[in-house]
Structure formats: structure tokens, C-alpha cells
Copies of this chain bind each other. A is one copy, B any other.
Amino acid sequence: MDIQEKILARAGEIERIIEQYLPSEQGFQKTVISAMNYSVQAGGKRLRPMLMQEVYRMFGGRGKVAEPFMAAMEMIHTYSLVHDDLPAMDNDEYRRGRKTTHVVYGEAMAILAGDGLLNYAFETAFQAFDLAKAENVSCERVARALQVLGRKAGIYGMIGGQTADIEAEGSQSLEEKQLLFIHEHKTAALIQASMMIGAILAGADESAVAGMERCAYDIGIAFQIQDDILDVVGSTEVLGKAVGSDAKNEKNTYVTIHGIEKASADVEKLSRDALGILDEFGGEQEFLRELIVQLIHREK
């Protein structure tokens, strides 16, 4: 199997875990639950839960206590897309070839479905307390994982990044400092949470958790710069969106600031740094390393 096939196989496993945690569509609140499940089942690469699971295993985790957090992470990622697609935000009618949630269920229900997913993400993660008891994992370890999840998803994480991103729209004088803030918070924060939570739940110490935070930062920033590069050099067909859409939106990017050569060199450096951090730790990390390289160097 090449890495693409391995990732697909692993995504299938994760799909089945996520499915187990989705609420069943019944009761007077059935519509909002259907809208939530429609949004989650739209698919995607399930990269965040995949990274969480790999880091959990790398640090010796062998139980199921990370599974509710894996599902929770995907619910949080999904709610952010549902709200991002709303008419008052990016106003997108399609995502991954499917109609967006508000197009199918209406705006009011899409707002509630996003709220429902964010709330249900935490409810789902709280199920880890019961699994922890069964697997002899301390309550405190789950508490620590929750604190990381909350912080990286909120105003000091993803929501903070989205706020800065909205305010940067149309700004050609966007400074590098603000651009890196957006990438770190909007993109890297949930990757950081995923890798940190994997380490925490496996019982890794604080220095290992801090290592995963740095590693995930490098991955997230590299991923985002690569996105900017592909926006300039990719073909419409491969990329699945109009090439140069950032330029049309008059948005400053890492590439418009630094040029494509430096941007590519920085992706290389961040990629090496991320893998270098992994070298400091033992454990099974073959797939994790391949996954990171694939993520950063993707061509679409």
C-alpha cells in the first residue's frame, strides 16, 4: 500500500468511530440532528482525529479513551465549516461537491446545527470520563485534555483566528504578524489540540505535550503556506476551486508577501522541523511521519 491508500484505509476506521458517536435522528428536535449529521457525514479527510490517534498510539496509548475526543474534534471542525459557509460569512453554496447545510436546511437551522455540533462535541468528549474509569485512566488526565480542547477551539484558538481573518478581508496591507496569527489560530490550533490531546490521554509528560504543540504548529503553518502556493501554481482541476481566488479576493498571503521561492523553502524547513521534533520521542511513528509529509507536500 502506498501512503494514499494507507490514509484512505485509516480514514475508513475513523469514519466508523465517528459514526458511533453521532446522535440518532428522532424526537421533536429531529431536524437539527439531521442537519448536524448531514454536515459531519459530508466527509473530509478526518486528518485531525487521525493525527490524534497516531500520537496517542505513539506514546503507548492502547485503549478507547481517545475515541470520544476524536469524534469531538471532527464535530468542532465541522461546526466551524457550517457557520463559515453561512450567507453572513463566506456565503458558500457548495462544499466538497455537496450543498452546504444552510442551502439544504435553511439558515436558522444551519445556525442551530452549528451550535448543536459545538455543544455536542463537548458532550461527546465528556463521555471519556466513563471510558477513563473503565481503563484506569485518571479523571485529571481527561480534565487536562478538555482544557486543551476548549482553549484551542475558542477565542484563543480557532475562533480567534476566524475573527482576525474576517477583519483582514480586503486588506492588502496585512502584516506578516497578523497573517501568522490567522494561520496559527485558524489552522494550526485544532491540529495542536489533536496532537496534544493524543499525548495527554496516553499519559505523556508535559514536555512531550509541549513538543506536540510545537510540532503541530509547524505542520499547520506549512500546510497553510502550501495552500497559498497551490492557489498560485495549482491547476483548477487538481485544486477543485478557481485558482487565484485569494488574489481575486484581494487578500494578502504568505506568497504575495514573500514570493513563491521563499514560501517553498519555508515549507521545507517547517516540514523538517516537525519531523525533527518527532525524533526526540520514541514509539511507533512510521505512519505518522509519512502522513505529515503527505499533508504538507500535497499537490491539491
A residues with a Cβ closer than 8 A to B are 23, 27-29, 31-33, 36, 79, 83, 86-89, 106-109, 111-112, 114-116, 118-120, 122-123, 126, 129, 138-140, 142-143, 146-147, 150-151, 153-156, 159-164, 166-167, 178, 181-182, 185
Contacts and interface: CB of A to CB of B under 8 A. Distances in A.
Which of A27, A140, A154, A166 has the most chain B CB atoms closer than 10 A to its own CB? A154
Given A27-B160, A143-B129, A160-B29, A107 B88 contact: yes
Nearest to A111: B83
Contact of A143 (B115, B126, B160): B126
Nearest to A165: B28
B109 A89 contact: no
Contact of A115 (B83, B108, B122, B142): B83
A167 B31 contact: yes
Contacts of A181: 28
The 4 closest A-B pairs by CB, nearest first: A29-B160, A88-B107, A139-B139, A123-B150
Given A29-B164, A122-B150, 11 more contacts: A29-B160, A31-B167, A32-B159, A36-B155, A88-B106, A88-B108, A112-B159, A112-B162, A118-B118, A119-B155, A120-B155
A266 B281 CA distance: 66
A36 B163 CA distance: 12
Contacts of A138: 139
A147 B118 contact: no
A154 B120 contact: yes
A119 B159 contact: yes
B119 A163 contact: no
Contacts of A163: 28-29, 31-32, 109, 112
Contacts of A111: 83, 86, 88-89, 111
A138 to B, nearest CB: 8
A86 B182 CA distance: 26
Given A129-B147, A143-B142, A162-B112, A155 B83 contact: no
